[in-house]
Amino acid sequence: MNICFPVIEDKGLESPVSAHFGSAPLFLILDTDTGNTRPIPNRNAHHSHGMCQPLASLAGEHIDGMVVGGIGMGALMRLQAANVQVFLAEHATVQDAMTAFRAGHLREVTPATACGGHESGHHGHGPNGNCHGHQG
């Protein structure tokens, strides 16, 4: 199974999970069978809000799931349309998020828990599932 994580930098399993999917500099693909990781640069990291093209950088990659710190509605819809399940991680590293994933502790992101507007510029979800810096 290939699980993809948006990350801030490539440190293998110790890579820090990015607070927001679309602006992550890298995607790290973890092969859960072998434990191997492979970084892929996010060629679309700098985009206007709502214009995230998540599959552009991941074109040709087989992804079974995506584990994110936060994600906007448009990117979520595009991934779901490509049959990629998206899960919310409130974990600092890929290793911690993967441990929670294997234990079944990650919630699937739904339209209700995706980030809406990002006026504050601070992306990601808080413990209540809302985007940081947002009331709802």
The pTM score is 0.80
Looking at residue 72, what DSSP letter applies?
B
Q: Which of 27-41, 58-72, 75-89, 103-117 is predicted with the least confidence, judged by mean pLDDT?
A: 103-117
Which domain range does residue 9 map to? 2-108
Q: Is residue 19 part of a domain?
A: yes
Q: Is residue 13 part of a domain?
A: yes
The two tokens of residue 112 are 């209700």
Query: Higher-confidence residue: 78 or 10?
Result: 10
Q: How many folded domains does the chain comprise?
A: 1
Q: Is residue 116 part of a domain?
A: no
Confirm whether 23 is domain-assigned: yes
Question: CATH number, domain at 14?
Answer: 3.30.420.130
Q: Give the separation between CA 108 and CA 66, rounded to whole angstroms.
A: 10
**How far is residue 39 from each of residues 61, 109, 124, measured CA to CA in Å?**
12, 23, 21
CA dist 98 and 105 (Å) reads 10
For the segment 93-105, the average pLDDT, to the nearest whole number, is 95
In this predicted model, what pLDDT tens digit does every residue of 25-53 receive, in sequence order?
A: 999 999 999 999 999 999 876 545 555 56
Q: Tally Cβ neighbours within 10 Å of residue 51.
A: 11
Residue 15: pLDDT over 90: yes
